Amino acid sequence: MEEETEAKPFRNKEKSKQKFLYAVEKILHTKGFSGLKVNDIARTAGLDKKLIYNYFGGKDGLIDEYIRSQDFWSNVKDESGGALIKDGGKKFSKDMLLSQFDYVFKNKNIQKILLWGLLDNRRSLKKLANDREENGARLFEGITDPHFEKNSKRYRAIIALLISGIYYLDIYATTNDCTFCGLDLKSADGRSEIENAISFLIDKTYE
């Protein structure tokens, strides 16, 4: 059934590296952090563990490369072309928060990496944090800081609280069956309630 063109080599370094990266993802998804053992990773990838040392310098190097391969902020884009500056970034903020709430809930890999950022502080995780900060800087310095003037820092604090709350609730909803403040964060009903709250708070902030 799977007749491959024999032209491309059977042994392929890049393909093998990809297999390892995918193995990390798979184990992370099924067993969590504690399941990330070199032996397991190699077995999952269907390759010898020695290659992990040859190609990535060890388990840490492999994990670092996996983290770097996840492009977290790719879904947050300013699609309106700068026309929204007039509202002080209100619509952009709201859209960004709501899309993050949905994105992080669906993307379990990102959840794991966010958790990593709370457990460890690897070098590779700092790249992610810096990405977030740089991404935010564009919004803050360019749009909201001028709009809120004296209260610009309070606005940053509000966004920090909401982003963090969104992360936490999404991760909590995934690993936990329990409700949070009486809301079922897995149900469409509970989630739309959170969305309403986000929208409401942004509206009030811009009043």
Which residue from 31, 33, 69, 138 is in contact with its own copies, where contact means CB under 8 A?
33
How many residues contact DNA, by CB under 7 A? 22
10 makes contact, choosing from DNA, its own copies, none, with CB < 5 to 8 Å by partner type, with DNA
Residue of 24, 89, 93 lying closest to 62 (CA atoms): 24
Contacts of DNA in 46-65 (CB under 7 A): 46-51, 53-54, 58-59
- Binding to its own copies by residue 92, rule CB under 8 A? no
- Binding to its own copies by residue 99, rule CB under 8 A? no
- Binding to its own copies by residue 73, rule CB under 8 A? no
Q: Which stretch binds its own copies (CB under 8 A): 6-14, 77-85, 88-96, 165-173?
A: 165-173
For its own copies, the binding residues (CB under 8 A) are 32-34, 115, 117-121, 126, 129-130, 133, 136-137, 140, 153-154, 156-169, 171-172, 175-183, 185, 193-194, 196-198, 200-201, 204-205, 207
